[in-house]
Amino acid sequence: MRVAIAHDQLAHLAGGERVVLAMAKAFPGAPIYTSLYEPDAEFPEFRELDVRVSPLNRFSILRRNHRWALPFTASAFDRMRIDADVVLCSSAGWAHGVTTHRPETRKIVYCHTPARWLYQSQRYLGEGKVMWRAGLRLLHGRLLSWDKHAAASAHLYLANSKAVRDRIRDCYGIEAELLPPPLNLDTSGRRQPVAGIEPGYLLCVSRLLPYKNVGQIIDAVRSLDGVKLVVLGTGPEEEQLREIAPASVRFLSNVSDENLRWLYENSVALVSASYEDFGLAVVEAASFGKPAAALRWGGFLDSVIEDRTGVFFDEPTSTAIAAALQQLLSRDWEPGEIAQHAVSSFGEPAFIERLQHIVSKEFARAPRPS
């Protein structure tokens, strides 16, 4: 059985890219097809893998800012011809549109979410962004038609959370199978301290996009005496967030896994106000025994057990976040119980074993040429 992997783009450090690395472990030697690949912005493990890019990758401006490629990415995946027995698509909007070389090839889509810019464009772009809004309005009909056709071409859909499973049903009329993403940050690995940061801070691991609501977290921390915040991530809102942040907030980007382990281990807790489809950072923090304050929405409903591994707030406002953080910081937590929940529920070995079983089962359903 020859397996190939397709992923939207490899141009930033995020949970979806960690899922692709786990897929590569499940199917050693499988080539990874993607629209854009910027090695300096990605996990170093990808340098050891067979990454195959679209012609868009020739343009460095697109590799550095993949949003600018939006008008061209659908056609880039349309033109990809993948010769494999099973194509495993890791998709939040594009990769499910790849074209298979042979009619008997099975296409399995691991859906992180149906495309946010099509189905949640207000939340994805935030306020302002007049040019982006105008561009999306012009492209919306064509991209929506393409997206639904791409979804219909799959033989099986997998969802990373119950919320995404429901969204797949609403967008495509497809019943997806639930497969939570893997926890693949090894807690036993080497730690490397981050210069200038003292232990005892809140940690926010997030891309800096409007729907992540990092600005509201910063405002919440501003109102809490003596509380420090470390924000790990990059994105279009970085400059704006740096301008509003008080001295108690420190920004970091593109740290190594050694740094990341140290940051989780030396934090007090994780905080996330994002409209998150799953939210892998919460599980990573939990594997180090750290509780979370999270928005009561989406994937966090699968990964956080209220009052056992964290607390919820009901809306992403600075007032609600501050109240949840006060509640979290005022009580004692059981690090061992939190870590055990993360490892037992979301461990990478279980993900790999189940994914291999799903792919093998789908391959067995393929018609054989006479």
Q: What was the pLDDT predicted at 133?
A: 59
Alpha carbon 200 to its chain's center: 26
Give the Cα separation of 217 and 318 in Å (integer): 6
- 114 contacts: CB under 8 Å, gap ≥ 6: 93, 147, 151, 164, 167, 168, 171, 172
Q: What was the pLDDT predicted at 66?
A: 73
Residue 254 has pLDDT above 80, yes or no: yes
Domains of the chain, earliest start first: 3-182+347-365 (3.40.50), 201-346 (3.40.50.2000)
Angle at CA of residue 10, ends 251 and 75, nearest 5°: 130
Sheet holding 267-272, edge to edge: 249-252, 229-232, 201-205, 267-272, 292-295, 310-313
Handedness of CA 251, 254, 256, 260 (dihedral sign): positive
3-state secondary structure of 313: strand
Adjacent-strand bridge partners of 258: none
Helices marked H in the chain — which ranges? Answer: 15-26, 60-64, 70-78, 116-119, 121-125, 130-152, 162-172, 214-222, 238-244, 257-265, 280-287, 300-303, 318-329, 335-346, 348-365
Categorize the per-residue pLDDT at 117 as very low, low, confident or very high, splitting at 50, 70 and 90: confident
The residue that leads in pLDDT, 180 or 142, is 180
CA atoms within 13 A of residue 362's CA, in its CB half-sphere: 24
Q: What is the pTM of this model?
A: 0.85
3-state secondary structure of 26: helix
Kindly provide the residue ranges of all beta strands, DSSP E only, lying in 184-274, ordered along the sequence.
201-205, 229-232, 249-252, 267-272
Q: What was the pLDDT predicted at 13?
A: 82
Residue 134 has pLDDT above 70, yes or no: no
Q: Count of residues for the chain?
A: 370
Mean pLDDT of 122-133: 56
pLDDT in tens, 138-158: 778 888 999 999 999 999 999
Give the Cα separation of 207 and 41 in Å (integer): 13
Give the Cα separation of 196 and 252 in Å (integer): 11
Q: What was the pLDDT predicted at 101?
A: 83
pLDDT in tens, 336-346: 999 999 999 99
Alpha carbon 209 to its chain's center: 13
pLDDT in tens, 41-92: 899 999 999 999 999 999 888 888 777 787 788 899 999 999 999 999 999 9
Q: What are phi and psi of 156, to 5 degrees?
A: -155, 135
Mean pLDDT of 184-193: 94
Q: Which two tokens stand for residue 111?
A: 């859906």
Q: What was the pLDDT predicted at 131?
A: 53
CA atoms within 13 A of residue 204's CA, in its CB half-sphere: 29
Q: Can you list the pairs that 323-329 forms with residues at least 24 positions away whose Cβ atoms lie under 8 Å?
A: 324/293, 325/202, 325/220, 325/221, 325/224, 325/227, 325/269, 325/271, 325/293, 326/224, 327/293, 328/269, 328/291, 328/293, 329/227, 329/268, 329/269
Give the Cα separation of 21 and 5 in Å (integer): 10
